[in-house]
Structures are given as C-alpha cells and as structure tokens.
Copies of this chain bind each other. A is one copy, B any other.
C-alpha cells in the first residue's frame, strides 16, 4: 500500500474511455464523455447527483441516471451502496471487476478506500455450506474519522 489505489484506472485518457464505449456498440456522446470525466477525476464513489453537479448542469439528471445504468451494464462503472439511500458509482479500469470496500465516517461521510479484501475463505465456506453458486459479497466499514473524533 502507499501506492496508487489499484482500482483507480490511473487517469485513463478520455479517448480510451470513448474507445471502450464504442466497443460496446454505444455512441460516444457529449454527456457520456463528461460523466466519464467526472468519475475519473472524482475520488471515491460518486452519486448521480454529485456527477450531475460536477457537470455544471450541462446535461439532464435523467441522462446521468440513464448513462450510469448503461455504463454499469457495459462493465465500465461499478455501483456501491454506502448505507444511505443513495447509489454511488466508480469508474472501472479495463478488465477490472472493481471489487473492493470502503470505510465511511458516520458523521461527515468521508470515504476511505479499502483495497484489501478479507473474505475469500469465509465466502468459500459460506458457498459450500449453503450450496449457493457464484457467491460474492458486499462489505463496507463504518466509523468516526479522526477529524470528527475531536470535533
């Protein structure tokens, strides 16, 4: 650790992102380019509303929702659920399944990326015991960040 987060496509060029879009037989539109740029530049998962604001209202919120949905189906972004009723999205690197976790401050919503995953053994055990196939998991941590502890 200490290096760049492995799950952040180190500033993939927008050209490359457009190429990935085309490979999915999807059109490269202005809103989509901007949404990808916002996700690429933003640290941590972003909500549709945050993305929309980052775009300074250059496109409709509905378009943001539709685009994120499409990008998710295309495997270009991954959806996270941090407990409040809001979806968050992160850009995925090429070929990256984006599996990782977060540590969220209950008071200020600060997000820390957690690149380690501790559950493969547990997941395996749960799968064999239950007979379920293709078992995955969603794991998020919550606590109080240093700043909020003093405040």
Contacts of A119 in B (CB 8 A): 118, 139
Count this chain's copies in the assembly. Answer: 2
Query: CA A126 – CA B103 in complex, angstroms?
Result: 8
Contacts of A105 in B (CB 8 A): 132
A130 engages B118 (CB within 8 Å): no
A126 engages B138 (CB within 8 Å): no
A131 engages B146 (CB within 8 Å): yes
Contacts of A127 in B (CB 8 A): 143
A95 at the interface (CB under 8 A from B): no
Contacts of A5 in B (CB 8 A): none
Query: CA A130 – CA B144 in complex, angstroms?
Result: 10
A105 and chain B: residue at smallest CB distance: B132
B125 engages A116 (CB within 8 Å): yes
Contacts of A143 in B (CB 8 A): 127, 130, 132-136
Q: Specify which of A114, A122, A136, A146 lies most central, judged by the most chain B CB atoms within 10 Å of its CB.
A: A122
The 3 closest A-B pairs by CB, nearest first: A132-B143, A135-B143, A131-B146
